[in-house]
Structure 1
């Protein structure tokens, strides 16, 4: 599958307004788009950060959807958003885990790599990293997104509750250290979010 991420920052006091718009008008707009396969909404309420991930059955469906969403996105995110960054990726690894309830946690890492190492990154995550993540208490799903041409990506691991997210930090740090070394990947940022909503439909 293919994904589009939207990363917005702004006034934490206005975050609730954006969430209500995304969960109503934004949800309806996405559901109307051909090829839509689900979405996730994640927040850092203290700092005022919002991450959304929409899933698409093809790159073409994702592209076609953005003809509408790019026009409507500003009104959905205002008055919260002061900055907005939109990225497109291929979901090269996806482990749905258990159905994640609101209030759980996401740990997301942004990655950089040589484009020639995209397959190495995929294989390492699937065969070496994912099996070790699955045994962490509270594990609720994981995914690896790559932009092969630009050598950029994002990994995300979902946990069933915020306690499990916090307790997994040391364990995942060990997995991350070994995995990035084997995959020739550099982690350029590491963030944690509260799960507001996460639902992806299987193939």
Structure 2
């Protein structure tokens, strides 16, 4: 699968307006597009950060959908978004135990790597990291998203509740350290979000 992420920051007091628009009009627009496989909305209400992700069965489906969403995105995110960044990824690993639910937690780890090591990263995550994540209480989903050309990636681990997210910080730090060393990646960011909505039809 292929993924488009929209990362917006703004006034925390206005974030619910954007959530309502994305969760209604935004989802309706996405569901009309060929190749749509699901979406997620995640928020940090305290700092005023919103992460939206849409999932597509092919790179062409993702690209074609962006023609429509590019025109509507600004209006959907008003008046919350002061900054918006859009990125595209390949879902190198999609490991789902159960469908995440509203009120759960998402941890995002941002990565940089040599583009020549993209396959090494995917195999390391699949063979070494996922088994360790599976042992974490409350894990719902673990994904690795990569941009092979730019050498950028995201690891997303979603938990059924915020307590499980908090309890996983130490164990996942250990798995992250080991995986980063094996796959020759640099961790450049670590963030946590509340799950507003997350529904993806996997492979």
The bucket for the TM-score relative to the shorter chain is over 0.9
What is the RMSD of the two structures over their aligned residues, measured on CA atoms? 0.5
CA shift for structure 1 position 153:
0.6
Map Cα deviations across residues 13-55 of structure 1 (whole Å, 9 max, x no partner). 0000000000110010000000000001000000000001100
- Do the aligned residues in 1 keep the contact of 2:41 with 2:52 (CA within 8 Å)? yes
**How far off its partner does 1:97 sit?**
1.6
SS in 2 for 1:133: helix
Structure 2, unaligned runs of 5 or more = none
Contact persistence 2:2–2:90 (CA under 8 A) = yes
Distance 2:101 2:146 in 1: 26
Structure 2 distance, partners of 1:97, 1:112, is 27
TM-score, length of structure 1 as denominator length:
0.99
Please list the CA deviations of residues 101-147 of structure 1 after superposition, one character each: whole Å capped at 9, or x if unmatched.
10000000110000000000000000000000011011111100000
SS state of the match for residue 34, structure 2?
coil
Q: What do residues 151-187 of structure 1 show as CA deviations (whole Å, max 9, x unaligned)?
A: 0010000111000000000000000000000000001
Correspondence for 1:12: 12
Q: Is the 8 A contact 2:94 2:202 kept in 1?
A: no
1:48 matched residue in structure 2: 48
Match of 2:37 in 1: 37
Give the aligned partner of residue 79 of structure 2.
79
| Alignment TM-score, normalising by the size of structure 2 | 0.99
Deviation at 1:65, TM superposition (A): 0.3
The 3-state SS of whatever aligns with 1:100 is coil
Whether 1:174 aligns to 2:174 is yes
Partner of residue 193, structure 1: 193
Q: Which runs of no fewer than 5 residues in structure 1 stay unpaired?
A: none
Q: Kindly indicate whether residue 136 of structure 2 is the aligned counterpart of residue 136 of structure 1.
A: yes
Cα deviation per residue 1:42-81 (whole Å; 9 max; x = unaligned)?
A: 0000000000110000000000000000000000000000
Q: Match for residue 28 of structure 1? A: 28
Moved over 6 A (4+): none
Q: What are the within-5 Å matches in structure 2 for residues 97-136 of structure 1?
A: 97-136=97-136
Distance 1:57 1:167 in 2: 33
Shift of 1:202: 2.6
